[in-house]
Amino acid sequence: METRITLKELAASLNLSVSTVSKSLNDSTEISPITKRRVTELATLKRYVPNNMAQNLRGKKTKTLGIIIPNIFSDFFAEALSSMEEQSDKRGYNIIISFTNDSLEKEIECINKLIHRRVDGIIISPTLTESQFGSSTHLNKLSEYNIPLVLFDRILDNVACDKVGLNESLLAEEATLDLCKLGCKKIAYFSNISNTSIGNQRISGYSDAIKKIKGKKQIINFHKIDLKISLKHLIGTNSIDSILADDGLSSILIVKSILELGYRIPEDISMLNFSNGIFSHYLSPSLTAIDSKPIEQGKIAVDILIDRIEDRLSPELLDFRLEVSLVHRESTRRLVPSI
């Protein structure tokens, strides 16, 4: 691999001071046009690349953000990350992306690496393990390094920082009530993330809605059942007429099982899920879903973090919750007669 020439080596080759070469490359009015031309021509010839990190460190800023997400396979995180990259670039910042694969150990490792990389701030969607057990010491310690933190999507109450997300409890309540308005009365909640902060918030909202409509609460822990046997019993005995599923993978498996059992969606059972990814649109039947607005969440998270870094915000921490809407598709239908 070719070794890049340094600023000091470039200056020595031209018999100029490092300061003169640096000013020439930055088009300073203190340097004559002839000297500037000599410097830029040799810099181009030698493929000199400025050390932006070193320049920024002299100003005590690296102009770099650390972004930590669970994975890139989720449509939500892929869209959010794309939005963050675009917005960071618009505001003159670079990003370092890390993935945790929902491992708390990996998340702690990512945090430590970003601290050593001297990032100006960090955006993170914490692991589900963390939201389950509340292990967030590594996040709270960032304040000791004066590194601002923004949580997005998965919000933890025990971390003091700026936050961008959704009101998960209210979303689950509104989704359940929406199914009721469509004529559904026996609504089951299928959870694959129970015992996590998000899962508990959604279950709470679902439970509040069931209480309002005076229905029967049916919470099915996805990982504790044989899905196909459970669905065959619930649908076959007319115990449920609709399903609210709390994640994308669960939704795909539920749809697959229902169709394999010979039941129809939405004729025999309606379905609504929390993930408005590509699969919700292209599954057959397409799934009614909650639009969690990943692009908006990503942009707002970047803007808040950069504003915090650049001292544009008051000391009071922000807790920004977006309003979202339901995207109705083929998996739900109006079961009550139109007036």
Per-residue pLDDT at 338: 41
Q: What architecture is the 168-292 domain classified under in CATH?
A: 3-Layer(aba) Sandwich (3.40)
Q: Write out pLDDT tens, residues 12-60.
A: 999 999 889 888 888 888 899 999 999 988 888 887 767 655 555 555 6
DSSP strand E in the chain: where? 64-69, 94-99, 121-124, 149-152, 162-166, 187-191, 218-221, 242-245, 270-273, 288-291, 319-322, 325-327
Q: Write out pLDDT tens, residues 49-95.
A: 676 555 555 556 889 999 999 998 888 999 999 999 999 999 999 99
Task: State the pLDDT confidence band at 141, using cuts at 50, 70 and 90.
Answer: confident
Closest Cα to residue 335, out of 237, 268, 243?
Answer: 268
Domain spans of the chain? 60-166+294-324, 168-292
Please state, rounded to an integer, the average pLDDT across all residues of the chain: 89
Per-residue pLDDT at 1: 39
CATH 3.40.50.2300 fits 60-166+294-324, yes or no: yes
Rounded to an integer, what distance in angstroms lies between the CA atom of residue 259 and that of residue 268? 10
Closest Cα to residue 176, out of 200, 153, 208?
Answer: 208
**Paired strand residues for 188:** 218, 243
Q: Write out pLDDT tens, residues 177-216.
A: 999 999 999 999 999 887 778 888 999 999 999 999 999 9
Same topology for domains 60-166+294-324 and 168-292, yes or no? yes
